Amino acid sequence: MTPHPLDPLSLEETTVARDILLAAHPDTVIFFREIYSKEPAKAELRLYLEAEHAQKLTSSTPKPPRLAKALYDVVGKDKVPQFQEAWVDINSRKVVHHVIIAKEFLASLTL
């Protein structure tokens, strides 16, 4: 059974997102701050919820993609952590959004 679009990520989905991001950054050290479910776009979610509330959900009802949002630091050869954000589509197993925060900006403190 596939999870509801608003359900939190399962352990398996979190592991998929982590593994995809680790593979995307070879020869670096990655410190994950958070990996959590990214809510679908309202327009995509609305169609699904309307079908759900009308009790017309079927296996062919389009579902919004399951996205994992990851916030993490990448430490390369210069040994300076660089804060990054990525969205991973769990079903297609691809990074669909990636932002590198400039090194002059620091991420929030993590203990």
Residue 20 domain-assigned?
yes
What pTM does this model have?
0.86
Residue 52 domain-assigned?
no
The structural domain count of the chain equals 1
Residue 60 domain-assigned?
no
pLDDT of residue 108: 66
51 within 8 A of 61, measured Cβ to Cβ: yes
67-75: strand order across its sheet:
29-38, 67-75, 81-89, 94-100
Residue 53 domain-assigned?
no
DSSP reduced 3-state for 10: coil
Residue 45 domain-assigned?
no
Give residue for tokens 């959900």.
57
Confidence label for 104 from pLDDT (cuts 50, 70 and 90) = confident
Question: CATH code at 32?
Answer: 3.10.450.40
- Name the residue range of residue 87's domain: 11-39+65-100
Residue 25 domain-assigned?
yes
pLDDT of residue 102: 75
Residue 16 domain-assigned?
yes
